[in-house]
Amino acid sequence: MEGNLEEAVGIINELIERIENAHLNIALTGESGSGKSSFINAFLGIGHEDGDAASTRVMETTTSISSYEHPKFPNVTFWDLPDIGTPNFQPKSYLKQVNFSDYDFFFIFSSARFRENDAKLAQEIRQMGKKFYFVRTKVDSDLDNERKAKPKSFNRENVLQQIRKNCSQHLQKVGIEEPQVFLISNFELASFDFPKLLDILGEELPEHKRHVFLLSLPNISEAIINQKKATLQEKIWLKDLTSVLQPFSSLMGMSREDNIAQLQKHLNDYQRAFGVDDASLLKISQESNRSIEELKTFIKSPHLLTIKEDESLSERYAEIFCSLNGGLLATGPYYRKSYKMQLYFLETVADDAKTLLREIWESSV
- Domain finish residue from 182, 216, 250: 216
Angstrom distance (rounded) from CA 51 to CA 37:
14
Confidence of residue 182 (pLDDT cuts 50, 70, 90): very high
- Domain finish residue from 201, 216, 231: 216
CB-CB contact of 139 with 163 (8 Å): yes
What's the CATH code of the domain at 155? 3.40.50.300
Q: What is the largest CA-CA distance in the chain?
A: 75
Q: Are residues 182 and 231 in the same domain?
A: no
Confidence of residue 244 (pLDDT cuts 50, 70, 90): low
Confidence of residue 92 (pLDDT cuts 50, 70, 90): confident
pLDDT at residue 62 above 80?
no
CB-CB contact of 290 with 297 (8 Å): no
pLDDT at residue 51 above 60?
no
Residue-number span of the structural domain to which 234 is assigned = 222-364
Mean pLDDT for the stretch of residues 12-19:
85
Q: How many domains does the chain have?
A: 2
Average pLDDT, the chain: 83
Q: Are residues 212 and 226 in the same domain?
A: no
pLDDT at residue 9 above 90?
no
pLDDT at residue 184 above 50?
yes
pLDDT tens sequence across 146-171: 999 999 999 999 999 999 999 998 88
pLDDT at residue 10 above 70?
yes
Residue 179 lies in a domain: yes
Q: What is the pLDDT of residue 311?
A: 63
Residue 9 lies in a domain: no
Angstrom distance (rounded) from CA 217 to CA 361:
16
Confidence of residue 82 (pLDDT cuts 50, 70, 90): confident
Confidence of residue 287 (pLDDT cuts 50, 70, 90): confident
How much of the chain exceeds pLDDT 70, in percent?
Answer: 80
CB-CB contact of 349 with 276 (8 Å): yes
Q: Are residues 55 and 144 in the same domain?
A: yes
- Residues with Cβ within 8 Å of 175's Cβ and at least 6 positions away in sequence, in order, are 119, 123
Q: Are residues 166 and 261 in the same domain?
A: no
pLDDT tens sequence across 105-131: 999 999 988 888 888 888 888 888 899
Q: Are residues 132 and 238 in the same domain?
A: no
Q: What is the pLDDT of residue 305?
A: 72
Residue 88 lies in a domain: yes
How much of the chain exceeds pLDDT 90, in percent?
Answer: 42
CB-CB contact of 230 with 38 (8 Å): no
CB-CB contact of 131 with 204 (8 Å): yes
Q: What is the pLDDT of residue 126?
A: 87
- Domain finish residue from 181, 216, 251: 216
Q: Are residues 100 and 232 in the same domain?
A: no
pLDDT at residue 271 above 90?
yes
Q: Are residues 73 and 29 in the same domain?
A: yes
List the single range of 114-123, 181-190, 224-233, 324-333 with lowest mean pLDDT.
324-333
Q: What is the pLDDT of residue 59?
A: 46
Q: Are residues 253 and 190 in the same domain?
A: no
Q: Are residues 277 and 321 in the same domain?
A: yes
Q: Are residues 246 and 211 in the same domain?
A: no
Confidence of residue 331 (pLDDT cuts 50, 70, 90): very low
Angle between helices 256-273 and 313-325 (to 10 degrees): 70
As to burial, measured by CB atoms within 10 angstroms (0-12 exposed, 13-18 middle, 19+ buried), residue 297 is exposed
CB-CB contact of 201 with 213 (8 Å): yes
